[in-house]
Chains A and B, each alone.
Chain A
């Protein structure tokens, strides 16, 4: 399968790497500003090894930092906009704080503001700590009312107190005079959002999700709260946040909750709304930046897609329980795949709902695969071997012969002669069509090898360059061994207005027998004032589309129709070479977001 695969496997010793973490603790960052992306993992550690932040360059671990607690999310972002480009900041979230690292040094700690104690809870504790109330009846009554309060609003002290037996409670109360302190908030998830530009190095601010069902946006420089919103009118607990858009312009914060629903928050909304509910617990979500559709994997082994309005588009049943989901943008092909990892260690890449590739990885390991430059994802032809093996073990689902099929077979047996005749007739018609097309081509001289009178001439063309100015080299070859040709000229015909030919008419001098002449001609792709943003996503080796055809006509003195014609398909201009001064950046951004 090696030669068939779309991937190149990096063999550099990643074998002894032992990772123990969750998907939210894995991120990428150009940590050293050298245009080389590093892999950053907040690792839980194993056994005696505590939690650590591990940095990998390729498959090589280059640094390692002790973390104070189990991490629950790692995010990398740019906090300031300066020139030269600043180092990215790594934010590691723990349940009560977020630590910020720059240059791998801790430089700031953020704590969620603590929450005032519930008045009722405080009142109960006042009575509990009063020694005159220390008898069974009253304590049981107070414990009961404490128990009846929603568990989530209780302080740690109350929660602990409720787990004790009555004797332990009594003993606890005898030793304690203190009222519970203010309750500190708990962080459950972390994400980031671009502040005012989608540029790769643009400033972002942090977005936190809390146990109390709030989403908090932190200022990118002061790390103070700039916005706090509830994710839903009914209390829901977030566990994953995905942001799309730009905070100062327009954005969507999509939140997966533990209560089997996905909530949505938009700019200027006072509170979030439920976008849709799922049948079983959500394991992970992802959101496409292009159309804001939401992918969801659930505990019932489903993988589904919902549109931006929350309507279900499609759903698949997976073979095993999914454990994580991510988007895989393949920018040079202009597509975004999604990857779903299953407990079995299989990772499947999907284009929409169609599986395109399969990868297998052992738990705890690091696997590095590089997509081949020539790979495409248009069909399912490669890399599905492992699932094919599964299929061969399963019995084939062969449908029963239908009535329709039986009737058809019967008719075929009855009418062999008529069928044969019909086939022969169609074959002759095809032959006639071929001959007509050939004659037509000959009459219109739409061919690059001469026939009849002009037999010894051949015309060919080569295109070179990155654009917008290309060089088309025309080669006129006299293939005859005794006759010279003269009186020829070349005329360019541009079908659309997208190209300008610098010398559209050339007189060809005499060509001696067996010789050839080359004519390098400049052809320029012309861009109109408002360029369609699609041109930026064209492939360098692909073709520029229908308008990119140029006809080259070889004319002979004294003849009315051209003797030869060649068609040259121009390659698209490399996006890097497109004259940017013609584009208005603001326009360009709008076009993108409307799509």
Chain B
């Protein structure tokens, strides 16, 4: 860990700074989710939650805190042409949040295939980093339940990583707290 990182963690009240990679297909709600997290943590410095976001090009970095852990989150674009850039971040990340649009029944198979590609990448396989799956847009009509999303993604087959799935709504913030505090707990135990 570099000096700067140590400094910022002292300033942040002794918390750890961990790098979390936010993945998921385009339009799944990654940017919205991060915006909701950052606004609830650092009261209203940005636009309020629910303001509609534009598709991300390339990547963005966001910081937020939860459960005594400071997160440095990489929000990457989920567009098909840019998904091959995800692997650039694999080496440097400590945790993954995988966001799924649970109302997009059609592309659940695509989400599953991207998740499998990610897990089998040489920089990822065998590493015990926590994986949080957000079954997002739970408020949308026809949204599938979290267990349904978990089985559609084949999560039960993941044995080398601790994982957790929870239903969330990035727009209202519902369910995000649960998921992120699970992630913080995992990371506190590990570091």
A-side residues, CB < 8 A to B, are 8-12, 58-60, 332, 368, 370, 372-374, 464-466, 540-541, 574, 576
Shortest CB distance A367–B (Å): 13
- A373 with B105, Cβ < 8 A, contacts A464-B88, A466-B58 known: no
A374 CA / B106 CA spacing, docked (Å): 18
At the interface, yes or no: B140 with Cβ under 8 Å from chain A?
Answer: no
Cβ-neighbour of A368 out of B80, B84, B88, B106 (below 8 A): B106
- Chain A residues contacting B82 (CB-CB under 8 Å) are 466, 540, 574
Chain A CB within 8 A of B46 CB: no
B3 shortest CB reach to chain A, Å: 14
Instruction: Tell whether, in the assembled complex, residue A8 and residue B105 are in contact, meaning their CB atoms are under 8 Å apart.
Output: no
A540 touches B81 (CB 8 A): yes
Seen from chain B, the residues whose Cβ lies within 8 Å of a Cβ on chain A are 57-58, 80-85, 88, 105-110, 112-114, 117, 142, 152
Which residue on chain B has the smallest CB distance to residue A576? B57
A44 to chain B, nearest CB (A): 26
Contact B81 A370 (CB under 8 A): no
Q: Which B residues are CB-close (under 8 A) to A370?
A: 106-107, 109-110
Which partner residue on chain A sits nearest B84 by CB separation? Answer: A541
The 5 A-B residue pairs whose C-beta atoms are closest, nearest first, are: A58-B106, A8-B109, A12-B105, A541-B84, A540-B81
How far does the alpha carbon of A118 sit from the alpha carbon of B187 in the complex, in Å? 88
Q: From DSSP, what is the main secondary structure of chain B's interface residues?
A: helix
| Contact flag A332-B80 (CB < 8 Å), given A374-B117, A464-B88 | yes
User: Are A466 and B80 interface neighbours, CB within 8 A?
Assistant: no
Chain A residues with CB under 8 A of B88: 464
The CA-CA distance from A12 to B149 in the complex, in Å, is: 12
6 contacts across the A-B interface (CB closer than 8 A)? A332-B81, A373-B114, A466-B82, A466-B85, A540-B85, A576-B57
Known pairs A59-B105, A60-B105, A466-B57; A8 contacts B81 (CB<8 A):
no
CA distance A8 to B152 in the complex (A): 13
Q: Chain A's nearest CB lies how many Å from the CB of B116?
A: 9
> How distant is the Cα of A486 from the Cα of B104 in the complex, in angstroms?
58
Tell me which residues across on chain B come within 8 A of A11, comparing CB atoms.
109, 152
Q: Which of B84, B107, B109 contacts A540 (CB 8 A)?
A: B84
B contact residues around A574 at 8 Å (CB): 81-82
Q: How far is the CA of A321 from the CA of B84 in the complex (A)?
A: 41
For the complex formed, measure the closest distance between the CB of B150 and the CB atoms of chain A, giving whole angstroms: 15
Q: How far is the CB of B4 from chain A (nearest CB, A)?
A: 14
Q: A373-B80, A540-B84 are in contact. Are A10 and B58 (CB under 8 A)?
A: no
CA distance A576 to B107 in the complex (A): 24
When the two chains form their complex, are residues A372 and B57 in contact, meaning their CB atoms are under 8 A apart?
no
